[in-house]
Amino acid sequence: MIHRNIGEMVIAPLAVARTGYDKGLSSNKSIASSTECYLMDLKSIKTEEDVVEALKRKTQFEKDVLVVTFRIPKGKISTYKRIAEKIGKPKAYRAVANALHKNPLWPVVPCHRVVCSDGSFGGPKKGAKTRRNSVAKEGIPIENDKVNISSEILY
């Protein structure tokens, strides 16, 4: 997902414009209903309730994932599997990764603090490098391009 920072505001596209005809679907969704772009003031998001309100158009699963991720303090990390367990869906760790990939509230919801169970940074190399640099700046120990996971830093 592409986010554009404009000072303290973020423009986050939520969907790509599509019509039902380009996929051979019988119903034709209007571009207006299938496309959404919104402007939000990230500085106004301070609490879990603010996060939930900002995510009102997301699924319950996505809200749950992003709220748990919002709770991860600076200097700590979690894994996709641990997030899945915390929301009561222990086998949904890949879905957790997908929900975090679509996080419209970064950096308020710190998805860069969630890694694979082996400490690696999943996804494309460029994104992995950015997340690795972000957690390293927060004091998370990195060895061989992986987080050195310990009980002291695990949320």
Catalytic residue numbers read 111
Which token pair is 15?
Answer: 């969907």
Reduced to 3 states, what is the DSSP secondary structure of residue 81? helix
**In Å, how far are 32, 33, 74 from 37, measured between CA atoms?**
10, 11, 29
**In Å, how far are 52, 67, 100, 133 from 62, measured between CA atoms?**
10, 8, 8, 25
Reduced to 3 states, what is the DSSP secondary structure of residue 99? helix
In degrees to the nearest 10, what's the CA dihedral of 91, 142, 127, 77? Answer: 40
Kindly state the DSSP code that residue 154 receives in the 8-state scheme. Answer: B
